Structure 1
Amino acid sequence: MQKRATNLVLTGVTGTFMAGMLVAGVAAASGDDTARQQLAPSQQAMAAARPDIANQSNSKQLTSAKKASSKALLTGTTTASYFWDDGSGINGDTGAPAGGKPMQKGLFASPSWPLHTKVRVTYDGRSKVGFIGDRGPGKPSHNGVMLDLDTYTFRYLLDGKKPASKYNAGTGEGHLKGLKYEVLEWGSGPGKKGKPRPFGS
């Protein structure tokens, strides 16, 4: 009887210890002092005694999640132009973007990729992540211009600056040649996955 009682006590202590380690690991990984202060004294002692275990476990999880979210499904290079279509009619504005979301920073146009595809673009050491929210460029895509970037992204990639206005990049440069693209997630909208294709093909 005494042995059984001892086993029950040990089981309870072990369960409390494991729960304490789990909570301590979350607090240690988050770096939140408030969360640490809310731990019971025994849990604080465990977190202080073995922070390496908690940090190592959470670090591995964060690294795996980061790799999964940044892994490219498709990479390549192209020439990119810029646009800003918000229904104003300025500079050949054709109206609201085809993807159903309003014109905004980080909204790109592709002649073929599925709408809402998530893509990272890089040029001269600068990168931005955006999504395909419109169709374009039209005829230029038949000459290898396979991405239309919003004006702000275009100017940032060009020289790290802001455009003169949302309709004008404020530079004589109208194209970025050798722009690197990385498809991070295919969108659920209409379009074709894979290498970009000219408009209408």
Structure 2
Amino acid sequence: MINFRRDTFDRFSAKTIATAVTGVAVVGAGLSVAVLHTEAPPAKAASASTVEASRGVSGLVPGEVGHGLKLPSHAPEKKAAALPGGISTGTSFWDAQTASGKPMSYHTLASPYWPLGTKVKVTIGKKSAVGVVEDFGPAEWAVAQHNPPAIVDLSEEMMQYLTGTRSNSVPIKFQVLQLGTGPVYRHSGTGYDMATGVSEK
């Protein structure tokens, strides 16, 4: 018969029982813990059908960012200010020189309220022409003697094209296409609000 010392048996049996029950082995006087665990199996890749089902209208899976994708902006869009337009009286003129220094031409217009360089479309009946403000005028008394006020002078050549007569005074439809950057002759007077769309200063 093999005789075991009691203290040896006690250490052996305690170690065996502790390991079998808890998965923890106690070694010697110190405490050494070996926790038994199993690794989770690697996650399976999402199937193509699952990914496709999660795509939204943009074609992206939630959380995915596409190259060049622009998110909608909530900033309000600025609208360009409307340019003046309406009905006035158009008169005609022809001068050797203009306030802009440019020679008189078919496209030359004059106005006391629009800055030099302003582009204006003038319509009489079914005919239209586009001119550029290159001179100042008419004078205040000439503007005021017409109803509606005569806020624009057309070159005699343009008036000839639109009415068949070089020297004329007729109702016209005007539309400012682009404001010029040159000087303005007057900032108040008869027809100022009609020409600019703002009240007199």
Q: Looking at CA atoms only, which structure, 1 or 2, has the larger radius of gyration?
A: 2
Bigger helix share: 1
